[in-house]
Amino acid sequence: MRVLLVVPQISLTLPPLGVGYIAAKLKASGHIADILNTAEMPDDKFLAFINNGGYKIIGFTSMTFLMPEIYRLARIIKKEVPSCITICGGVHTSALPRLTLEECPDLDLTVSGEGEEVVLNFLQALKKGIDLESVNGLCFRKGNQIISAPPQGYQDLDTLPFPIREMEGGFREEDIPLRINIVRGCPYKCITCSYLKVSGSSVRRRTVKSVIQELKYLSQRGYDQVSFGDCMFTQDGRWLKDFCEALKQAKLEGKLKWEVTSAPHLLNEEKIKLLAKYGCKRVNFWTVDSGNDTILRRANKPFTIPQLREACEQIKKYGMETFAAFLFGYPGEDANSCKKTLEFAKELNLDSYWFGIPKPFPGSELYQMGLAMGREITGNWKRYFMDPEEPPELPVIGCDLDPMELFNFMSTARRQLPIRF
């Protein structure tokens, strides 16, 4: 079967891993699966691409702020190529599968959770004429009803083929590392995170052998920078040591520039020393968010300010770069706590930073808090886009400051400190 996986209207610096894994899974099972980036693609060319390719299934990857564009493209497809089946998966549909179909009558199905097995099982059911209620992870229309099948089980990551990293429409070539997925699942419950809706709370990790095989494959294809973007990458010290030793044995140690993502409490001096010894260039902390321990506790962060400070000092000691992301506007925040976060960020004196404002993404605890408070956080999904040049349109959840005040803190931080991404 011919399947087109659409990445809607984003000028990407890197190919998306989610659709890359699904395309690889489908191709390994004998289907034709292509990936299309529609950034800067006129509608007539989009439709011509579908018709010329003879695609029967059009799939979309869902980020919350992209849902209006997905709905628009689905409407165009159904008007011009009504025989196409439209399907949407990702974080947003995993959190709101039924609402997505209610909002967009031009979408036929949504996928909840990890999509590789769900989409493959759907194609097999379609081919055999089997009732879709037997396909776990699907939400679909049946007459005037919307049916939700039970969840699909989680993947053994070593059984997945390496993701396809090529797509029509391409992506912006920039000097940033290619992301590698090592871990799925997270045991923590940060209030802004909706990731648990996709991959659950149980940590699953690829074997060292599997990771080294992919690194060899990428090196042979000319990639020389990679980023291990999973916060749980450094959780297992034994695995980390085995990986570093295998990297050297494979003679990749000097060929690849690599960086990791971690959480502060998952690092100690032994792990940091190991990373530096085997060539890691940077440690990224995407989960820091605040310079105030009280706010961190309210945000369900599993680490403390002293742990972060110690980790950053050790990383500098062993000659690696450090990046951290901070957010202004968690529940309980006021002007003093925001000032404290900015002062703490400066005190750390890191190589690069990112600053933003928490958003109540569907599937997160913050989203549920917003609904309980009666805040208007659904409907206009475009408001979930983080534009560093414009004040946020979404209401603030449980914070004493208004959106403009938070925007001013974010803008000040971005002016005063080196920004990455």
3-state helix, strand, coil in the chain (%, to 5): 40, 20, 40
**Distance (Å, whole) CA 108 – CA 329:** 37
Cβ atoms 175, 284 nearer than 8 A: no
Predicted pLDDT at 170: 67
Q: In what order do the strands lie in the sheet with 352-356?
A: 178-180, 225-228, 257-261, 280-289, 321-327, 352-356
Predicted pLDDT at 12: 64
**Domain end marker among 133, 148, 163:** 148
Q: Is the pLDDT of residue 262 over 80?
A: yes
Q: How many CB atoms are located within 10 Å of the residue 85 CB?
A: 20
Predicted pLDDT at 386: 79
**Domain check: are 135 and 186 in the same one?**
no
Structure tokens at 305: 């300010």
How many domains is the chain partitioned into structurally? 2
Q: Which of 197, 191, 196, 280 is nearest to 234 (CA)?
A: 280
**Domain check: are 105 and 232 in the same one?**
no
Q: Is the pLDDT of residue 187 over 80?
A: yes
Of 346 and 254, the one with more pLDDT: 346
Structure tokens at 180: 């590698």
| Residues 284-294, mean pLDDT to the nearest whole number | 95
**Distance (Å, whole) CA 105 – CA 68:** 13
Q: Which of 347, 350, 379 is nearest to 362 (CA)?
A: 379
In a domain, 349, yes or no: yes
Q: Which of 393, 408, 396 is nearest to 339 (CA)?
A: 408
In a domain, 157, yes or no: no
Instruction: Please report the sign of the dihedral spanned by the C-alpha atoms of residue 179, residue 181, residue 182, residue 183.
Output: positive
Predicted pLDDT at 393: 87
Q: Is the pLDDT of residue 364 over 70?
A: yes
Cβ atoms 281, 321 nearer than 8 A: yes
**Distance (Å, whole) CA 312 – CA 92:** 33
**Domain check: are 326 and 196 in the same one?**
yes
Q: Is the pLDDT of residue 13 over 70?
A: no
**Distance (Å, whole) CA 322 – CA 159:** 33
CATH number at residue 122: 3.40.50.280
| pLDDT > 70 in the chain, percent | 97
| pLDDT > 90 in the chain, percent | 87
Predicted pLDDT at 212: 98
Burial pattern 117-126, b for ≥16 Cβ within 10 A else e, equals bbbbbbbebe
**Domain check: are 79 and 187 in the same one?**
no
Amino acid letter for position 236: D
Which of the 8 DSSP states describes residue 130?
A: -
Query: What are 327's strand-pairing partners?
Result: 356
Question: 138-142 and 109-111 as β-strands: parallel, antiparallel, unpaired?
Answer: antiparallel
Predicted pLDDT at 287: 87
In a domain, 165, yes or no: no
Q: Residue 389 is part of which domain span?
A: 175-416
**Domain check: are 135 and 203 in the same one?**
no
In a domain, 206, yes or no: yes
pTM: 0.95
Residue 356 Cα distances to 274, 328, 339, 390, 395, angstroms: 31, 6, 14, 11, 14
**Domain check: are 112 and 28 in the same one?**
yes
Predicted pLDDT at 169: 74
**Domain check: are 247 and 356 in the same one?**
yes
**Domain check: are 109 and 185 in the same one?**
no
Q: Is the pLDDT of residue 215 over 90?
A: yes
Chain segment 19-33, per-residue pLDDT in tens: 999 999 999 999 999
Predicted pLDDT at 253: 81
| Residues 326-333, mean pLDDT to the nearest whole number | 96
Predicted pLDDT at 167: 81
Q: Which of 181, 174, 249, 261 is nearest to 216 (CA)?
A: 249
**Domain check: are 299 and 208 in the same one?**
yes
| Residues 345-363, mean pLDDT to the nearest whole number | 97
Question: 57-62 and 32-37 as β-strands: parallel, antiparallel, unpaired?
Answer: unpaired
**Domain end marker among 130, 148, 166:** 148
Using alpha carbons only, give the angle 155, 13, 223 rounded to the nearest 5 degrees. Answer: 75
CATH number at residue 262: 3.20.20.70
**Distance (Å, whole) CA 383 – CA 398:** 18
Res. 311 pLDDT band, cuts 50 70 90 = very high
Predicted pLDDT at 92: 97
Predicted pLDDT at 79: 97
Chain segment 131-180, per-residue pLDDT in tens: 999 999 999 999 999 999 999 999 999 999 999 988 887 666 666 789 99
Predicted pLDDT at 301: 97
Chain segment 223-245, per-residue pLDDT in tens: 999 999 999 999 999 999 999 99
Looking up tokens 């044995």, which residue turns up? 249
Structure tokens at 146: 């919307």
Res. 15 pLDDT band, cuts 50 70 90 = low
